[in-house]
Structure 1
Amino acid sequence: MKYLQVTVPKGSLCNLNLNVNVGLPPNAVYNIVTDPDNKRVFKNIKEVISRKVLVDEGSRQVVEVEQAAIWRFLWLSGTISIHVLVDQNREDYSMKFKQIKSGFMQRFEGCWKMEPIFIDEELCHPFKPQSVTDYVTCTKGKGRIASKLSLEQLIQPAVIPPPPISWYLRGIMTKTTEMLITDLLAEAARIRKDSGTSEKNSNEHETHDACNIKKRWAMRRKNARLSGTRLSLNSKSC
Structure 2
Amino acid sequence: MGMIALQVTVPKGSLCNLHLKLKVGLPPDAIYNIVIDPENKRVFKNIKEVISRRVLVDEGPRQLVEVEQAAIWRFLWWSGTISVHVLVDQNREDHTLKFKQLRTGFMEKFEGCWKVEPLFVDEQLCHPFKPKTLDEYNSCTGGKGRVGSILSLEQLVQPAILPPPPLSWYLRGITARTTEMLISDLVAEAASIRGNASAANSSQTSETSENTSNGNTLQAFDVKERWRHRRNAPRRRNNRELSR
TM-score, structure 1 length as denominator?
Answer: 0.84
Query: What corresponds to 1:206 in structure 2?
Result: 224
Matching of residue 136 in structure 1 with residue 138 in structure 2: yes
Contiguous gaps of at least 5 residues in structure 2: 202-218, 232-244
Aligned pairs (5 A) from 1:131-210: 131-196=133-198, 204-206=222-224
Query: What corresponds to 1:219 in structure 2?
Result: none
Query: What corresponds to 1:75 in structure 2?
Result: 77
The CA distance in 2 between the partners of 1:196 and 1:86, in whole Å, is 33
In structure 2, the CA distance between the partners of 1:56 and 1:211, relative to structure 1 (3 Å rule), is farther
Name the SS for the 1:49 alignment partner.
strand
- Structure 1 residue 123 displacement after superposition: 1.2
Give per-residue Cα distances to partners, 1:22-52, cap 9 Å, x unaligned: 1111111111000000000000000000000
The CA distance in 2 between the partners of 1:128 and 1:173, in whole Å, is 38
Aligned pairs (5 A) from 1:13-24: 13-24=15-26
Contiguous gaps of at least 5 residues in structure 1: 214-238
Judge conservation of contact 1:115–1:147 (CA < 8 Å) in 2: yes
Judge conservation of contact 2:62–2:90 (CA < 8 Å) in 1: yes
Name the SS for the 1:196 alignment partner.
helix
Name the SS for the 2:222 alignment partner.
helix
Query: What corresponds to 1:3 in structure 2?
Result: 5
The CA distance in 2 between the partners of 1:19 and 1:186, in whole Å, is 16
The CA distance in 1 between the partners of 2:32 and 2:71, in whole Å, is 20
Matching of residue 31 in structure 1 with residue 33 in structure 2: yes
The CA distance in 1 between the partners of 2:179 and 2:170, in whole Å, is 15
- Structure 1 residue 138 displacement after superposition: 1.5
Judge conservation of contact 2:197–2:226 (CA < 8 Å) in 1: no
Name the SS for the 1:84 alignment partner.
strand
Instruction: Specify the code of the residue in structure 2 equivalent to 1:126.
Output: P
The CA distance in 1 between the partners of 2:167 and 2:151, in whole Å, is 30
Cα RMSD between the aligned structures?
A: 2.0
Instruction: Specify the code of the residue in structure 2 equivalent to 1:172.
Output: I
Name the SS for the 1:9 alignment partner.
coil
Aligned pairs (5 A) from 1:94-109: 94-109=96-111
Instruction: Specify the code of the residue in structure 1 equivalent to 2:119.
Output: I
Give per-residue Cα distances to partners, 1:134-192, cap 9 Å, x unaligned: 11122112111111110010000100000000001001000000000000000000000
In structure 2, the CA distance between the partners of 1:129 and 1:207, relative to structure 1 (3 Å rule), is farther
Give per-residue Cα distances to partners, 1:117-136, cap 9 Å, x unaligned: 10101111222211111111
The CA distance in 2 between the partners of 1:47 and 1:26, in whole Å, is 26
The CA distance in 1 between the partners of 2:134 and 2:198, in whole Å, is 19
Query: What corresponds to 1:40 in structure 2?
Result: 42
The CA distance in 2 between the partners of 1:132 and 1:87, in whole Å, is 24
Query: What corresponds to 1:223 in structure 2?
Result: none
TM-score, structure 2 length as denominator?
Answer: 0.82
The CA distance in 2 between the partners of 1:127 and 1:162, in whole Å, is 53
Judge conservation of contact 2:54–2:66 (CA < 8 Å) in 1: yes
The CA distance in 2 between the partners of 1:55 and 1:211, in whole Å, is 27
**Aligned residues: percent identity?**
68
The CA distance in 2 between the partners of 1:133 and 1:196, in whole Å, is 24
Higher relative contact order (CA 8 A, sep 6+): 1
The CA distance in 2 between the partners of 1:45 and 1:105, in whole Å, is 18
The CA distance in 2 between the partners of 1:195 and 1:181, in whole Å, is 21
Query: What corresponds to 1:121 in structure 2?
Result: 123
